[in-house]
Amino acid sequence: MSTRRYPSFRASLARNGLARLAGAHDALGAVLAQEAGFQAIWSSSLEVSAARCLPDASILSMTEYLEAAARMQKALDIPVVADCDTGYGGNMNVAHMVHEFEAAGITAVCLEDKRFPKLNSFAAGDQSLLDTAEFARKITVAKASQSSEEFFVIARTEALISGLGVEEALSRCHAYADAGADAILIHSKQPTKDQILDFLAGWNGRLPVVVVPTTYPDWHIDDIRAAGVSIVIYANQGLRATVTSLRSTFRSIYEQGQSTSLEEYIASVGEIFALQRMADWQKLDA
């Protein structure tokens, strides 16, 4: 029996030059993002947690995040990049994480330099970071633990989130590059892209740069490309749109007592069957 070869994020990035990722938490959302044209899927810890109505605060286990990412990857022809928070603990946890995610067909992961347990970057609370050398060691362990050269490790600094400034972010990212990271992610929750542009101006381009324009959504993809960014993640827009749509739909049905006024705006049952590949499955019984 042949073994499926999962799509490589490293190869996708090399092929596309600029990779656009959409956040998702289940196979249906991931497939819809693939249909829209995204080059990869971000298995978002915020989305996976929110789908369980739990905070993004290291409450779910590594296994639960792994299951979500693996289910998405099985349904896709594009790669999944797994948001692995702090690596679920110390260096031994990081090594175990790499083994398990790689075995499940995930070809890229992202680790951040916060302390475990971490709190979502946009939440009020403790956003303190690990010592630079301590997190660099995590990156070295992650790279030493992979079994394939295809595996891709993104080192994410939360220096700007913690209020430490651009110079500290640059210093940390150079250390993470020295530790073997394949790309660095620079994160900001400022309402403009200015901090990110300052970072890019000081970065020497030694590794690809990842940005997450959640709080500065007006940064057009053409300008992102021109600024030298290699990967952009739209990390939670799908989840937020789902909440708005479901809230409106359910309220309308309940208040109107029927769903007639919605039918032209919502997917048909036939569209759902197509996403399920119903016809392909039915051929097995033909």
Is cis: bond before 7, omega within 30 of 0?
no
Q: What is the pLDDT of residue 1?
A: 34
CA dihedral defined by 183, 160, 49, 210, rounded to 10 degrees?
-20
Which neighbouring-strand residues pair with 233?
21
> Which pLDDT value is given to residue 187?
97
Q: How many residues does the chain have?
A: 286
Q: Which residue in 131, 123, 135 sits closest to 185, CA to CA?
A: 135
pTM of the model: 0.95
DSSP string, 151-205: -EEEEEE-TTTTT--HHHHHHHHHHHHHTT-SEEEE---SSSSHHHHHHHHH--S
Domains of the chain (ranges plus CATH)? 9-235 (3.20.20.60), 245-285 (no CATH)
| Mean pLDDT, 10 residues at a time, the chain of 286 residues | 76 95 98 98 98 97 98 98 97 98 98 95 91 98 97 98 97 98 97 98 96 98 98 98 98 97 95 96 94
| Residues taking part in catalysis | 56
Q: What are phi and psi of 276, to 5 degrees?
A: -80, -5
